[in-house]
Amino acid sequence: MALVGTPGVYATVLKKTSEINKNLFVTASSSLGGSKVHIITKHIFPYVKGNLSVLFVKEIILVLGLIGQLGIFDTFLGGTIKRETPPYIHISETHEWAGIVGQWRGFIYGSQWILFFPLCAYIVLLLGFYLISRGLEQKQRKTFYKVPYL
């Protein structure tokens, strides 16, 4: 899962840091003898910190979506037990929500309650992370456009 998300995160962080490196205060700090560690911790990280938190929450949402999609195809996060006796089903070893939804999706017509509660919990989890990301984006937008008084 980390291999899927790493290139996108790397490109986003690289783009943001290259934009910040073009600012005059970074150039002035390096010309005054600031080390790479000083420039990163004092000048670049405070500007990238908000973007990293939003990016982290969005990656959580993407990974949860990927886990849910893999659960539909009987590939579960913690491992899969294949039952060799009838009924031939795949069982999630860790019993996570996406695994339970994928495991019992065949009961949608007969016993909806088996599928309903884990699916609702999973959707509420995704919705919660989505709302957190929206709140972080709005907070970042407010602090980014705030102009200090001189």
pLDDT computed for residue 4 by the predictor: 76
Please, where are the H alpha helices in the chain? Answer: 2-21, 24-31, 36-39, 45-72, 97-103, 112-144
Rounded Cα gap, residues 127 and 21, in angstroms = 35
Work out the end-to-end distance of the chain between its first and last CA atoms, rounded to an integer number of angstroms: 47
Contact 70, 97 (CB under 8 A): no
The pLDDT-based confidence of 148 (bands split at 50, 70, 90) is: low
pLDDT in tens, 94-107: 888 888 888 888 77
Rounded Cα gap, residues 8 and 21, in angstroms = 20
